[in-house]
Amino acid sequence: MKPSTLEQLCEMHTNLSSADIQIISEVASTLPMYADLLNAYMFIDCKMKENEQAIVVAEAFPRTPEAVYENSVVGKVVFETFEPGVYYCYRTGKKSIMHRALTQEGKMVEQSVVPIKNKQHQVIGALIMEAEVMASYSEKKQEPTHSFGQKAMSNLLANTMDEYPVISDLLMEIFLLTDAEDRLVYANPSGVRFIHEISQTEYIQNEPILKLLPFLDPILNQQEEVFVLELTLAQKSLEVKKVKLRNKKNELQGTLFIIQDLTELRTKEKELMMKSVVIKEIHHRVKNNLQTVASLLRLQMRKGFPLESKSHFEDTLNRIFSISSVYELILANDNADDDDVDLIELTRKIGSTMVINDLNQKVDLIIEPNGNKILTSSRKAVSIALIVNELVQNSIKHAFPGGISGEIHVDFFSSKDFVELHIQDNGVGMGEAGYSLGLEIVHNLVVNDLAGEFRYRLVERGTYAILTFPLSPEVVIYYEKTDSDR
Ligand SMILES: Nc1ncnc2c1ncn2[C@@H]1O[C@H](COP(=O)(O)OP(=O)(O)OP(=O)(O)O)[C@@H](O)[C@H]1O
Ligand SMILES: [Mg+2]
């Protein structure tokens, strides 16, 4: 089959694998549908391999007469100054909403960007929705398009108000309806409350709306038949929608205002943002404090200590390092939405920072993910880090006495319900040795924290430890691509 433009562009300009390009193509095939549904412009941008810029690989335009984009932009390079949302999304893996941006053609649009991720949670593209800001309907000399809902609504408001409570009485939103002379003829209960609060006026019925709510002036005087504006009033964030109501002869009957109080939503958004900043800061402090403790221990070691305590100091240092590895990974991972830790990366980190007592030791640590990518919450990751540390350390410390060489294998396996971690060495074996503090720690953490099992498999040579724990919302597996996927 002939490769599409999208595939050609991706292959030529990006580092995406064919599986990633497949995902992008699938998303791209849905763009025309969403463009029509949302009356918006849809694009997919991908990071280029040659430089830090992104390239447009797919687009879809709504079928409307007025076009923001006169020409196709596929194949064009996107610059950060024009489209910060795209770059924000790439850097953080998070969505960016309603950033105002200039299109390459120089017009104002509102833009929402969400990352497209592959199974490994990597951002492989940015999906962009753009809608022109305050698209003007009135210039277009068209019949205003009332939906059946709006018609029924105005009928309800105009005819049956006295007999039945209208639906708008039950809504949280503020509904205000004026007549053709801009006098208030209807307000739902939220509206009445709102006007009383803002204007401190007792009698509001049939009063000029601008006398009651002067802040509506610029909105009412807008030419547009439909107009939406977000504004701040008396420390409230309000979204005001205005709809001009016309009869069949196109004569103005009145104006409907729908006002939504977004204050709580905006406050929550701010709180959430603060929360993630605070959590990051706490992780930083935990990591720094652990490093201080480690430094104190090292200082103590340098000051001298009885030789028989040396290995205890080292054991403790390694335990501290394995915990701080978890925090280092969380902090290094800007892409994650939360504080998930990649177990394989964690194991590699522990292996590389481990303090080894005998520098002459020729022991290889081989870590084999077996196609798994296992993400765990930071809480579980701390336990797993300590367990891996104890077991690998045991192999290094006890399996190869007298500087004999050998290998330590750490293998990750997964099934539908479980993760299995195999740690084996080809050393001298455990013999009849009993548990000391190290294995005590392992046992406690496995049973109490991971709700898992720990056992040794009988092998001819060396030791073979197996740790099993269940998958849960805190332990998730992503299968990495195998050769057959390529
Ligand atoms: N991979 C291994 N190869 C050989 N012997 C081992 C291995 N793992 C553990 N052992 C034996 O099991 C014993 C108990 O291990 P455990 O980790 O509980 O204590 P430790 O390593 O001696 O001290 P620590 O409490 O600092 O870990 C060890 O002393 C050692 O004799
Ligand atoms: Mg030990």
Residue 144 pLDDT more than 60? Answer: no
Assigned token pair, 306: 């009885």
pLDDT at 164: 44
Q: Measured between alpha carbons, how far is 350 from 321 in angstroms, rounded to an integer?
A: 7
pLDDT at 459: 94
Q: Which residue bears the tokens 């605070």?
A: 278
pLDDT at 139: 39
Mutation test residue for ligand 1: of 430, 435, 440, the one with most atoms within 8 Å of CB = 430
Does ligand 1 have an atom closer than 6 angstroms to the CB of 463? yes
Say how many Å lie between the CA of residue 439 and the centre of ligand 1.
7
Q: Measured between alpha carbons, how far is 114 from 126 in angstroms, rounded to an integer?
A: 6
- The enclosing domain of 111 has a CATH number of 3.30.450.280
Q: Measured between alpha carbons, how far is 285 from 361 in angstroms, rounded to an integer?
A: 35
Q: Which residue bears the tokens 């694009």?
A: 43
Let me know how long the chain is. Answer: 486
Same domain, residue pair 127 and 161? no
Query: Among the three residues 132, 166, 193, which one is the final residue of a domain in this structure?
Result: 132
Query: Structural domain tally of the chain?
Result: 3
- The enclosing domain of 249 has a CATH number of 3.30.450.20
Give the CA-trace dihedral at 360, 363, 364, 366, to 10 degrees.
-140
Of 202, 225, 222, 221, nearest to 212 (Cα)?
202
Which range of 23-32, 65-74, 446-455 scores highest in mean pLDDT? It is 446-455
Averaged pLDDT for residues 439-453: 93
3-state class of 269 per DSSP? helix
Q: Which-ligand-closest: CA of 431?
A: 1
Mind listing the pLDDT tens digit for each residue in 218-249? 888 888 888 888 888 877 888 999 988 888 88
Mutation test residue for ligand 1: of 397, 444, 466, the one with most atoms within 8 Å of CB = 397
Same domain, residue pair 142 and 128? no
Same domain, residue pair 148 and 85? no
DSSP notation for 56-100: EEEEE--S-SS-S--S--TTPEEPTTT-HHHHHHHHHS--EEEEE
Say how many Å lie between the CA of residue 364 and the centre of ligand 1.
19
Same domain, residue pair 280 and 318? yes
Q: Whose CA is nearest to atom 22 of ligand 1?
A: 436
Q: Whose CA is nearest to atom 28 of ligand 1?
A: 433
pLDDT at 101: 47
**Share of the chain residues as helix, strand and coil, in percent rounded to the nearest 5:** 40, 25, 35
Q: Which domain holds residue 472?
A: 266-485
Same domain, residue pair 305 and 331? yes
Query: Among the three residues 101, 132, 163, which one is the final residue of a domain in this structure?
Result: 132
Q: Are strands 236-246 and 226-233 parallel, antiparallel or unpaired?
A: antiparallel
Same domain, residue pair 120 and 86? yes
pLDDT at 138: 37
Same domain, residue pair 325 and 306? yes
Q: Which-ligand-closest: CA of 315?
A: 1
Return the higher-pLDDT residue of 419 and 271.
Answer: 419
Of 90, 101, 118, nearest to 23 (Cα)?
118
Residue 64 pLDDT more than 50? Answer: yes
Assigned token pair, 284: 């930083």
Residue 94 pLDDT more than 70? Answer: yes
Mind listing the pLDDT tens digit for each residue in 274-331? 777 788 888 889 999 998 999 888 888 888 888 888 888 888 999 999 999 999 888 8
Residue 162 pLDDT more than 50? Answer: no
User: 486 vs 123, 371, 481, CA distance in Å?
Assistant: 19, 13, 7
Say how many Å lie between the CA of residue 270 and the centre of ligand 1.
50
Which helix (DSSP H) or strand (DSSP E) does residue 136 occupy? none
Residue 428 pLDDT class (50, 70, 90 cuts): very high
Q: Measured between alpha carbons, how far is 335 from 278 in angstroms, rounded to an integer?
A: 17
Return the higher-pLDDT residue of 126 and 354.
Answer: 126
Which helix (DSSP H) or strand (DSSP E) does residue 174 occupy? strand 174-178
Query: Among the three residues 202, 228, 261, which one is the final residue of a domain in this structure?
Result: 261
- The enclosing domain of 322 has a CATH number of 3.30.565.10
Residue 169 pLDDT more than 80? Answer: no
Mind listing the pLDDT tens digit for each residue in 4-59? 789 999 999 999 999 999 999 988 988 888 888 778 888 999 999 878 889 999 99
Same domain, residue pair 392 and 445? yes
Poorest-confidence range of 136-150, 411-425, 437-451?
A: 136-150
Q: Tell me what the pLDDT averaged over the chain comes to.
A: 82
Q: Whose CA is nearest to atom 3 of ligand 1?
A: 399
Same domain, residue pair 146 and 106? no
pLDDT at 320: 94
Averaged pLDDT for residues 76-80: 79
pLDDT at 91: 81
3-state class of 206 per DSSP? coil
Residue 146 pLDDT class (50, 70, 90 cuts): very low
Mind listing the pLDDT tens digit for each residue in 343-380? 999 999 998 888 765 555 688 899 999 989 999 998 89
Q: Measured between alpha carbons, how far is 314 from 319 in angstroms, rounded to an integer?
A: 9
Return the higher-pLDDT residue of 129 and 166.
Answer: 129
Q: Measured between alpha carbons, how far is 319 from 330 in angstroms, rounded to an integer?
A: 18
User: 75 vs 12, 44, 55, 113, 280, CA distance in Å?
Assistant: 11, 11, 6, 19, 38
Same domain, residue pair 228 and 277? no
Same domain, residue pair 475 and 337? yes
